[in-house]
Amino acid sequence: MKKRHSGLIDFFALYLPLGVILLFLLFPFYWTFVTSIKPKSELYGSVVTYWPQNVVFDSYHKLFVDFNFIKPMGNSLLVAGVTTLVSLLVSMLAAYAFSRFRFPGRKIFMIMFLTNNMFPTVLLLIPLYSIMRSMGILYTPIALILSYTTFTIPFSVWLLNGYLNDLPKSLEEAAMVDGASRSQAFLRIIFPVLIPCLVATGAYIFMTSWNEYTFAVLFTNETSRTIPVALKNLIGQLGVQWDLLTAGGIITIIPVCIMFFFAQKRLVAGLTAGAVKG
C-alpha cells in the first residue's frame, strides 16, 4: 500500500463510503440509546426528538437494582463462553480433516453438516425438550450449551473449512518435507495463520449463543435465564416497556463490543513473507 492518494481521494474513496455504511449500521443503535434515556412523556410525543429534552437514566438504575440484570448476563456469558470454546475446538478438528484429508464419506459428512442447519428448529422443539429432560440437564446451563454447540458446529466446520482451503497446502507440506509430523505442522504453521479465522468463527458462535431465544425460553428457568429471555419478559400484553427494554439492549451490546475490541487485535495478517508459493 503505497501512499499515492491525495487527501481528497482518500476522503471520497475511504472515509465517505465508510461513514455512510457506519451511519446505516449505527443509527438504530443510536436510536435505541436515545429511547433508553427518554422520559416516558417524550416517547409517545407527537414531535420526534432526536435528543431527549430531559435525559433520564432511571431505566438503567432500575435494571440493575430492581431487576438484577447482572444474573442473566452472567448466565449468558457462561453459556456463550463455554459454547464458543467447545464448538470452536471440535469444529477446528473436523474442518482440518475435511480440508486436508481425502477419505471415503467426506463429501457425505460435509453435506450432512450443512443440511443440519437447513432444517427449521421450531419443529424440533418438543423432542429436544424431551431429550434434555430425560438426560436430566433441563434448566441447567448444560442444556443450552449442548443445543448451541450442536447448532453452531455445522456452520463453524464449514467456515473453518473454507478458510483452510484458502490457505495454500504448500504451507505445511514444506514443513512436513522438513521432517515435521502432521500435527507439528498444524500447530506450528497452520494454527498461527488460522487465528484471525478462529476469532471470526468464535465471534459467530458467541453471537449466536448470546442472542438465541427459542431454546433459551424453554430450556432455562429462573436461575439459568439468559439475556434474550430476560429482555422478552419486558414485553407483556400491556405493551413494551421501551425504557427498560432499550436500556437492557444497550447493556447487552456494550460488553460484547468491548470484548471484541480486544479480540480484533488478533485479526491481523498471520502470513509472513515468503511463506507462499503457488
Partner 1 sequence: MKKEKLYIWPYLLIAPALFIVAAVVFVPVANAILMSFQSYDLRRPREIVFIGLANYIEVFHDPIFWGSLLRTALWVIFGVGFQFLFGFILANFLNKSFKGRGIIRSVSLIPWVTPGVLIGLMWRWIYDGSYGVLNDLLKKVGLIDMPIPFLAQESTVMPSVIVTIIWQGIPFFALMLLAGLQGVPAELYEAADIDGANGAQKLFRITIPSIKNTIFVTTLLRIIWVANSVDVIFSMTGGGPAYASQTLSVYIFNKANSLNLGYSSTMSLLLTLLLLVVAVPYLKSMFRNQEG
Partner 2 sequence: MSGCKKALTMILAFALSITTLAGCQSGSQSISSAAKSESPNQPIVLKHWFWPDSDMHTQVMQSMVDDFNATNGKNIKVELEIHPWDGGQYSQDLFTAAMGGGAPDTAGFKLTSTPLFTANHLLEPLDSYIDSWEDKDDIQDTLYKTLRSVTKDDNLYLMPWNTQILYVYYRPSMFQAAGIDIPKTYEEFLQDCRKLTRDTNGDGKTDVYGYGIRGSKGGQEPWGSFIYARGGSFDNLTSDASIQGMQDFIDLFQDGCAPPSAPNDGFNEIIANFQSGLTAMTIQHIGTSVNMVEKFGDDVGAFAFPDSPQGRWTSMGDTETVMFSSSKNKEAAFEWMSYLATGAGQKTWCVKTGNVPVSKTVQQMPEIQNNRFMKISIEGAPFAGILPVLDTTTDWINNTWPATIQAALLGKITAKEAMEQLDKALYSK
Is 235 an interacting residue with respect to partner 2 (CB under 8 A)?
yes
Continuous H helices in 101-140: 106-116, 125-134
Interacting positions 49-78 with partner 1 (CB under 8 A): 50
Burial class (CB in 10 A: 0-12, 13-18, 19+), 107: exposed
Q: State the CB neighbour count (10 A cutoff) for residue 158.
A: 19
Q: Which range, of 53-61, 67-75, 77-85, 164-172, touches partner 1 by CB under 8 A?
A: 164-172
User: Based on CB atoms, which residue is closest to partner 2, 66 or 166?
Assistant: 66
Q: Tell which one of 122, 178, 179, 222 touches partner 1 (CB under 8 A).
A: 122
Q: Tell which one of 69, 113, 155, 186 touches partner 2 (CB under 8 A).
A: 186
Is 95 an interacting residue with respect to partner 2 (CB under 8 A)?
no
Interacting positions 4-43 with partner 1 (CB under 8 A): 14, 17-18, 21-22, 24-26, 28-29, 31-32, 35
Is 193 an interacting residue with respect to partner 2 (CB under 8 A)?
no
User: Based on CB atoms, which residue is closest to partner 1, 66 or 166?
Assistant: 166
Angstrom distance (rounded) from CA 250 to CA 229: 15
Angstrom distance (rounded) from CA 7 to CA 211: 41
Give yes or no for a contact between 145 and 82, defined as CB atoms under 8 angstroms apart. yes
Is 221 an interacting residue with respect to partner 2 (CB under 8 A)?
yes
Burial class (CB in 10 A: 0-12, 13-18, 19+), 220: buried
| Binding at 26: pick from partner 2, partner 1, none (beta carbon under 5-8 Å per type) | partner 1
Q: Which of 154, 145, 165 is nearest to 91 (CA)?
A: 154
Is 106 an interacting residue with respect to partner 1 (CB under 8 A)?
yes
CB of 266 to partner 1, least distance (A): 9
Helices (H) and strands (E) in the chain, counts: 14, 2
228-265 burial string, b = 16+ CB within 10 Å, else e? bbbbebbeeeeeebbbbbbbbbbbbeeebeeeeeeeee
Q: Tell which one of 21, 26, 29, 41 touches partner 2 (CB under 8 A).
A: 41
Give yes or no for a contact between 154 and 236, defined as CB atoms under 8 angstroms apart. no
Give yes or no for a contact between 194 and 166, defined as CB atoms under 8 angstroms apart. no
User: Based on CB atoms, which residue is closest to partner 2, 260 or 270?
Assistant: 270
Is 70 an interacting residue with respect to partner 2 (CB under 8 A)?
no
List of residues contacting partner 2 (CB under 8 A): 40-41, 44-46, 62, 66-67, 86, 89-90, 93, 125-127, 129-130, 132-138, 140, 142, 145-146, 181, 183-184, 186-188, 217-218, 221-222, 229, 232-241, 244
